Amino acid sequence: MCPSWIEPLTDAFGGDSSNVTSFGESAGAAPSSCASLTKSLSRSEAVEVVFNAYDITLSTLDDGAMKNLIEYITDLGYVCPALALTRAWSGKAYYYNFNEANPWNDLCKGFSMHMLDAAFLFQNYNKKPTPKAREAGVQLGKDLIKFTGGIAPWQKSDEEKVFVRLPGPSEEMVASTVGGSGWRNGRRHIIFKPQQEGKVDLDGLRMAWD
165 forms bridges with which residues in the sheet?
Answer: 96, 177
Same-domain pairing of 182 and 210: no
Same-domain pairing of 126 and 180: yes
With contact defined as beta carbons under 8 Å apart, do 106 and 24 qualify?
Answer: yes
Q: Indicate the average pLDDT of the chain.
A: 78
Residue 61 in 3-state DSSP? coil
With contact defined as beta carbons under 8 Å apart, do 69 and 54 qualify?
Answer: yes
Range of the domain at 119: 98-186
Same-domain pairing of 115 and 181: yes
156 within a domain of the structure (yes/no):
yes
43 within a domain of the structure (yes/no):
yes
22 within a domain of the structure (yes/no):
no
The domain total for the chain is 2
Examine residue 194 and say whether the peptide bond preceding it is cis (omega within 30 degrees of 0).
no
Query: Rounded distance, CA 162 to CA 103, Å?
Result: 29
Per-residue pLDDT tens over the stretch 132-163: 999 999 999 999 999 999 999 999 998 888 89
Per-residue pLDDT band at 88 (split at 50, 70, 90): very high
Same-domain pairing of 104 and 72: no
Q: In this predicted structure, what is the pLDDT of residue 23?
A: 46
157 forms bridges with which residues in the sheet?
Answer: 93
Q: In this predicted structure, what is the pLDDT of residue 200?
A: 84
8 within a domain of the structure (yes/no):
no
Same-domain pairing of 120 and 53: no
Same-domain pairing of 110 and 141: yes
Q: Does the pLDDT value for residue 79 go beyond 90?
A: no
CA 132 to chain centre: 22
Same-domain pairing of 110 and 179: yes
Same-domain pairing of 132 and 168: yes
Same-domain pairing of 110 and 129: yes
Same-domain pairing of 85 and 102: no
Q: Does the pLDDT value for residue 90 go beyond 90?
A: no
Burial annotation 152-188 (CB, 10 A radius, 16+ → b, else e): ebbebbeeeebbbbbbbbbeeebbebbeebbeebbbb
Q: In this predicted structure, what is the pLDDT of residue 43?
A: 66
Per-residue pLDDT tens over the stretch 21-60: 444 445 556 666 667 777 777 666 787 888 888 887 766 5
Residue 177 in 3-state DSSP? strand
Same-domain pairing of 149 and 102: yes
17 within a domain of the structure (yes/no):
no
Q: Does the pLDDT value for residue 7 go beyond 80?
A: no
Same-domain pairing of 171 and 106: yes
The reported pTM is 0.74
